[in-house]
Structures are given as C-alpha cells and as structure tokens.
Chains A and B, each alone.
Chain A
Amino acid sequence: MESVELMVNGVRREGRVEPRRTLADFLREELGLTGTHVGCEQGACGACTVLLDGEPVYACLLFAVQARGHEITTVEGLAAPGELDPVQDAFRRCHALQCGFCTPGMLLAAHGLLADDPDPDEADIRGALAGNICRCTGYQSIVAAVRLAAAERRRPAAPEGAAR
C-alpha cells in the first residue's frame, strides 16, 4: 500500500492505496466522490473525465499514486451543494442529459474546452467532446448546451435580481 496526498476540489485529501488503484476508483471508493462515473475502464467512454491541474483527463487511465501532489476537479467541485454552475445550468435548460451517466464527464470536458477557448464553434465543441460517449441524447442538445454556456460566459453578468 502507498500513501496518496492530493487536492480534490480545493480540499487536501489523503488515502492509502494499492498502486493499481485508478484515480477514478480512488475518488469513488476512498473519498466517496461518486459523481465521477466509471464506464469502460479503458479510456474509451469518457465518463470518468476529471480535471488534472485544470486539464481534462481520463481518471481510469491514471493511477491514484500518479495524482500525488496534483489538483483534481470532479463534478462535485463545479458548484456548491444544491447549486448549478453555468455549464450545468445550460445542460439543464437544453435537456442535454437523459440517463445522466455520461454527464459528469461531459461537463468536465466542456469546462476544459471553455477554459481554452471562450468562443468555440460547433466543430470545436464536437472535437472537445469526441472523447465522451453518450448513448441517449444523440449529442445535439449537449452541443447546444455548451454553445449556450459559452455565449453566456462571454456576456457581462446580469445585475443581481434581474429577470432571467
């Protein structure tokens, strides 16, 4: 067993793991952060996408011991409990999820894109999300949600209390 110390959603966390424990399983099993979903376990489906130092990675292709000293953001870290961050809210309004299994990975892949490119076109969005599989939506509503989130981020924030 090896010790692991890392930052998850801004909080210092630690645990003891076998080296073969993936970051995805560590987040779910040791830290109880079950928002990171595990689908294929071989880097094909994207459900386990998290941010490693701000960049989207597959948490099933990273061993927890390799995340030592790094900063991880999971879907739980996007907004305070009970609240939605702007990308999540755009997903809700665009009906960009049905069963929801792929959604955490989609959200973090979208965050990775928007951090890089505040004004992505449709091809950019599809390219950024191509590593995430959704078997429900047909992707149209997901692409629409990311476009909406990007457009709203580029607009100055509405004054407090303004109608939406």
Chain B
Amino acid sequence: MKAAPFDHHAPTSLAEVHDLLARHGPDATLIAGGQSLVPLMALRLARPRVLVDLNEVAGLAGIRDEPDAVTAGALTRQRAVERSPVVAARLPLLAAAVGRIGHPQVRNRGTVGGSLALGHPAAELPAVALALDATLVLAGIGGAEREIAAGDFYPATGGTGLRPGEVLTRVRFPVPPAGAGYGFHELGRRSRDFALAGAAVVLGRGVDGECAYARVAVLGGGPVPRRVPGVERALRGGPLDADAIAEAADGVAGEVEPVGDVQADAGYRREVLVTLVRRALSDAARRADPTH
C-alpha cells in the first residue's frame, strides 16, 4: 500500500526541528532512518500529517571515542556502528548486537537514535543500552539538554522518557569495567527477523574470579525493554561456574512477562529466554578476566 498524504520538512538544524515541532505539535512525527515508521505508514497504521525529517540536520551523526565512553549521534546509521573499529574494540557487546538488526538494507538506513526512541521491547539497541548503562541526551525546545539513564528512558508503564518537543540527539555508552566479558544471544523465526527472545549481558570478575559486576537485559521479556535485576542479584558475589549461571538464568522465568503473539506464545518465549540468558551469561563469564 501507499502512505497517506503528509507534509515533509527537511530542516538542517536542531533549532529548525524544534520550531517545526512547536508549530505542528501532535501533528508532527520525527523520522530518522524510517525503517520502522515507513512500513507502518505504508500499512496506514501510522498516518502522520507532518514528517519532520532529521536526515539533513547537521551534527547528529558520528561516533566519538571518549576516555570512559563511546558516544554515538542519534543519526548514526546502524551500519556505521557495525563497521566502527572503535565500537569493535571498546564495546564488543554493541558490535555483536548491531549486526543482528534487520537486513543490510535496514542497517544502511536505520539509525541508533531511531531504534532507541522507538523502544521496541524485542529490539537489540534498547537492550544493549540497558546492559551498558547508557545515557541518552535529549534536546528540548529552546535547545536545553537533559540527560536520562536508559533504565529511566523505558518506564515499566510503557512509552519512553521523551517529552513533547524533545529530540534524542546522542547516546553515551560507558565502556564496561576493565576485563568485563559480554554475551549476546537472540532467537528469531527467520534470519534477522525481530527476535522472539534474547539476552544482552555484561559480567565482571573480582580478584578471586567471583562475579563482581552484572548487567543482564532481555529482548522480548515484556511490553517494554528491560533489565532483570533479580538475575543480576543472584549472580553478584558468587562464583561464575556452570551451576551458578544455570540457577541464575532459571530465575528469569519468574521475572519476565513475555507477550505472546502469532510467532510464539508467552510460555515458549519464557522458556527460550531462560536458555538464551544462560548462554549469554556463559559467554560473558568465559570472556571475563579476574581483576588484577
């Protein structure tokens, strides 16, 4: 099908974006890569009257290597993240996950900010942002910026932390503690489909090899992207052997509330989540070095 008619604006500065958002209010919808929005428009499930296009806005794309973090502009294409040597070296979890988004055509166009602002509960980037304790930077009308932790950006009640008129401009991914290991697993019906379930994990070891640091986020674990703090608590301070990992992963079943659909019912997703969390934890534990 074809999208319903709309007006298209291609501002070149953030100030112009905010002017357009102020002028058109709820009629305006931001478009970045459009890989989720345009299919919805073609199906007429979304009928924005005004598209405010971020693609020509200067300064929104790019990956910056910082002392303790890597910052990606909201308009950075997923493909650029996939190819970035900085991301591969410093944020291997992000590198592993971004290559699992959609197909090459989607990643060439899809953006970091678009995926985070959409906040699909089975998407890769929201889960990675949670597992890495990312901070999102939002610019409001008038240009004032505020920062919000990924965990606060995805409230349990649904939606995102974006207020009317705000634009997500960049995201800062702190580099995990030295020696930390990562794991990422997801399962879909077909190659590169939306995941039915998945897990993004970062584990750090203390001087005796015990678990000193744990971040576990799940894909498809409920109506919003989320971490599973019960699993993290079960691991922290204990050994990272196969038994401890299996026991902690079993706890996922009681902590998530998967939503069933035609692809897979909730019970199946719950069982798969246990397996994928266990695999991701095992990979992360294997890759983690004891602190020196």
Known interface pairs A19-B8, A19-B51; A62-B43 also in contact (CB < 8 Å): no
Q: How many residues of A contact B (CB 8 A)?
A: 33
The 0/1 profile, CB within 8 Å of A marked 1, for residues 108-138 of chain B is 1100000000000000000000000000000
Q: A52-B108, A63-B8 are in contact. Are A131 and B43 (CB under 8 A)?
A: no
Take A19-B7, A20-B6 as given contacts and tell me if A128 and B104 are in contact as well, using a CB distance cutoff of 8 Å: yes
Distance, CA A57 to CA B7, complexed state (A): 23
Chain A binder among B21-29, B31-39, B89-97, B151-159 = B31-39
Q: Does B210 contact A (CB under 8 A)?
A: no
Q: Which of B4, B34, B51, B103 touches A62 (beta carbons < 8 Å)?
A: B34
> Is B192 within 8 A of A43, CB to CB?
no
Q: Which residues of B contact A72 (CB under 8 A)?
A: none
- The answer for the CA separation of A25 and B51 in the assembled complex, in Å, is 19
Chain A residues whose CB sits within 8 angstroms of the CB of B43 once the complex forms:
42
Secondary structure of the A side of the interface? mixed
Digitize A35-61: 1 where CB-to-B-CB distance is under 8 Å, 0 elsewhere. Answer: 000000111101001001001111011
Q: How many residues of B contact A (CB 8 A)?
A: 29
Question: Nearest Cβ distance between residue A28 and chain B, in whole angstroms?
Answer: 13
Instruction: Decide if A18 is an interface residue (CB 8 Å cutoff).
Output: yes
Q: CB distance A61 to B109 under 8 Å?
A: yes
Give bound CA distance, A113 to B51, whole Å.
32
B53 within 8 A of A: yes
Q: Is A130's beta carbon under 8 Å from chain B?
A: yes
Choice from A41, A62, A109 contacting B109 with Cβ under 8 Å: A62
A65 at the interface (CB under 8 A from B): yes
Docked complex Cα distance between A52 and B77 (Å) = 13
Min CB–CB distance B56 → chain A (angstroms) = 9
In the bound complex, do residue A43 and residue B108 qualify as a contact, i.e. CB atoms below 8 Å apart?
no
- CB-contact partner of A131 in B2, B8, B53, B104, under 8 A: B104
Evaluate whether A20 and B191 lie within 8 angstroms (CB atoms) in the complex, with A60-B42, A62-B109, A131-B103 already known: no
- Whether the pair B53, A43 counts as a contact (CB closer than 8 A) is no
Residue in chain A with minimal CB distance to B40 = A42
Residues of A within 8 A of B79 (CB): 55
A49 and B109 alpha carbons, distance in the complex (Å): 12
Apart from A19-B5, A20-B41, what are 6 other A-B pairs with CB-CB below 8 Å? Answer: A20-B4, A42-B43, A46-B105, A62-B109, A130-B103, A130-B192
Q: List 6 A-B contacts (CB under 8 A).
A: A20-B5, A25-B2, A55-B79, A55-B108, A62-B34, A126-B191
Residue numbers of B with Cβ under 8 A of A are 1-8, 10, 34-35, 38-39, 41-43, 51, 53, 55, 79, 102-106, 108-109, 191-192
